[in-house]
Amino acid sequence: MPAEKEAFAESSAKPTRSFEAGAMWCSVRTMITDESPANGANRAHELTEEMLLGSPILLRAITESTPDAVYVKDTQGRYRLLNSPAARFLGKPTQEILGKDDRAFFPVDDARRIMEDDRHILDAGITQTCEESFITAVGPRTFLVTKGPLHNEQGEIIGLFGMARNITTHH
The ranges assigned to domains in the chain are 8-55, 66-170
In tens, the pLDDT along 9-53 reads 555 555 555 444 455 555 555 555 554 445 555 555 555 555 555
Full-model pTM:
0.68
If DSSP codes are grouped into helix, strand and coil, which group holds residue 138? coil
Eight-state DSSP code of residue 39: T
Q: Cβ distance 151 to 160 under 8 Å?
A: no
In this prediction, residue 55 carries a pLDDT of 72
Separation between Cα atoms, residue 64 and residue 57, nearest integer Å: 10
The DSSP 8-state label assigned to residue 22 in this structure reads E
**Within a 10 A sphere around the Cβ of 58, how many other Cβ atoms?**
14
Residue 78: φ, ψ to 5°: -85, 135
pLDDT of 129 strictly over 90 = yes
Contact 141, 166 (CB under 8 A): yes
Phi-psi region for residue 48, left (φ > 0), alpha (ψ -120 to 50) or beta?
Answer: alpha
Domain over 66-170 is classified CATH 3.30.450.20: yes
pLDDT in tens, 79-109: 999 999 999 999 999 999 999 999 999 999 9
d(CA 134, CA 144): 12
